[in-house]
Structure 1
Amino acid sequence: MRQLPSAILSALADRRLVARDFLWIVARNRSTGMPESVGFWSDVGSVDAPVIDPETGTDVVRPFHGSGTLISVDPIPLVSTMEVQNIRIRMSQIDNLVQQAVRDYDCKQAKVEIFRGLFSPESRTLVAPAEPRFVGFVDKIDITTPSENEDGGVVLTCASHTQEILRSNPDTRSDASQRLRDPNDNFYQDTAVVGEWELFWGRKQGKIDTQKSSDARLIQKSIGAA
């Protein structure tokens, strides 16, 4: 179950909160290869807002830029399954900071974090650090440069970090790959030659034939009978 701070629960009960979205992108600098971070939010002006770091769970203050930079974020379903969530983020095509993020930086597979901040309409401040609602990576970027009297924009299609859990490992079971992890691990040292070993089993000498399981033999027999 999701746990919310008492300040947010109290303000929600009084029905006096205003929600805003915060977007944090960690892209790659095309020149240096180093990570570059930039933040946007769905309101006006630039703010230094506290958010909860989804990796450490601690409060951090990050700069976010507004004034129409972040137009909309698809609804984010809160689920407890291992299903990969896909969302779209729409941003301004004419903002210089957005242009820098999607053109000057390499956003392919860039890290994306989306937070939901709840503001008090009286003090106009966050009642608690913004909560993380989505963590993932940029899968696709669509930049539309419009003609006269047409709409343009930037759309980021993002996949949640759950895809990393479902990603297959391309590594092979070999002595070389195992020793890359630990030079003293010799578990797979005989993998390439064990199939050629000849062993004695009673009076029989030679390679040991592999036997199919009883279930496999029954299936094969039934197919042959059909």
Structure 2
Amino acid sequence: MPILDQAQIDQLAERRGTNSHVLLWVVARERTSGADQAIGFWTGDDHRSFQIGAETRLYYGAGNVIDVAPVVAGVGLKVRHFRVSLTAATDEVRTLLRDYDPRLAPVEVHVAPMDIDTGGPLGTPKRMIKGTVNKLPEEVGAKGTQNKLEMTITSNALALTRALPLLRSNEELQRRLSTARGREYADVAGEWITQWGVS
């Protein structure tokens, strides 16, 4: 469970209601240069900078373009899957899809409580999800409607389900059967760069 700031606790104690926005931060590889590029979206109407830890991040206002199911925080090692829906209506969303390679890109989802009276940020945003992009298919809309993207985020607990490469290496297989070549490129296969979503 996230630890709330005192200002957030005071507003909740007043029982006048709540107001919060969702912040989506993706660090994807640029297709042309291969450098990591970060891009952020939030459910507000205009672009805004938020202080996340020691870093100030710019989030593009996506308004009703971004749709996130209610985020439920949990403790434990269970692999969780989250869905975030986007429409390709803004230039920034098209940039994420066309110019960046979002495959297995690190993702963070924060919830930013807002002041009911002023509409400004109330304390620091709280991280609710940390994971990687598992899928980002583009669903082509009917004539006259926008294309839709549904990003599936897998929590970082997925890394704990992977087998140790020491027991699945080429050397281990050669020791058991010297003519086997099934894992000959197992140590470098993860380093191959494949273009995702480009034909």
TM range (shorter): 0.7 to 0.9
Residues matched between the structures, number = 171
Equivalent residue for 1:54?
A: none
RMSD value over aligned CA atoms? Answer: 2.2
Equivalent residue for 2:26?
A: 25
In structure 2, relative to structure 1, the CA distance for the partners of 1:62 and 1:80 (3 Å cut) is same
Q: Work out whether 1:62 is the aligned partner of 2:51.
A: no
Q: Work out whether 1:103 is the aligned partner of 2:98.
A: yes
Equivalent residue for 1:37?
A: 38
Shift of 1:170: 1.5
Equivalent residue for 2:47?
A: 46
Shift of 1:70: 4.4
What letter matches 2:26 in structure 1?
Answer: I
Identity %: 24
Equivalent residue for 2:187?
A: none
Larger relative contact order (C-alpha < 8 A, sep ≥ 6)? Answer: 2
What letter matches 1:89 in structure 2?
Answer: V
Shift of 1:168: 1.6
More displaced stretch, 13-22 vs 136-145: 13-22
Alpha-carbon distance in 1 for matches of 2:134, 2:168: 30
**SS of match in other structure, 1:128:** coil
Higher Rg: 1
What letter matches 1:153 in structure 2?
Answer: K
Where does structure 1 lack aligned partners over 5 or more consecutive residues?
52-57, 178-191, 193-226
**SS of match in other structure, 1:90:** strand
Alpha-carbon distance in 2 for matches of 1:115, 1:167: 27
8 Å CA contact retained: 2:2, 2:126: no
**SS of match in other structure, 1:63:** strand
Alpha-carbon distance in 2 for matches of 1:84, 1:109: 15
In structure 2, relative to structure 1, the CA distance for the partners of 1:130 and 1:70 (3 Å cut) is farther
Which of 133, 142, 148 is the matching residue for 1:153? 148
Alpha-carbon distance in 2 for matches of 1:69, 1:103: 21
Equivalent residue for 2:10?
A: 10
Q: How does 1:186-197 map to 2 (within 5 A)?
A: none
Alpha-carbon distance in 1 for matches of 2:55, 2:51: 5
Q: Work out whether 1:168 is the aligned partner of 2:171.
A: no
**SS of match in other structure, 2:79:** coil
8 Å CA contact retained: 1:93, 1:145: no
Where does structure 2 lack aligned partners over 5 or more consecutive residues?
176-199
Q: Work out whether 1:124 is the aligned partner of 2:119.
A: yes
Which of 82, 85, 91 is the matching residue for 1:87? 82
Alpha-carbon distance in 2 for matches of 1:80, 1:68: 30
8 Å CA contact retained: 2:39, 2:59: yes
**SS of match in other structure, 1:40:** strand
**SS of match in other structure, 2:102:** strand
More displaced stretch, 19-28 vs 90-99: 90-99
Alpha-carbon distance in 2 for matches of 1:173, 1:108: 24
In structure 2, relative to structure 1, the CA distance for the partners of 1:162 and 1:70 (3 Å cut) is farther
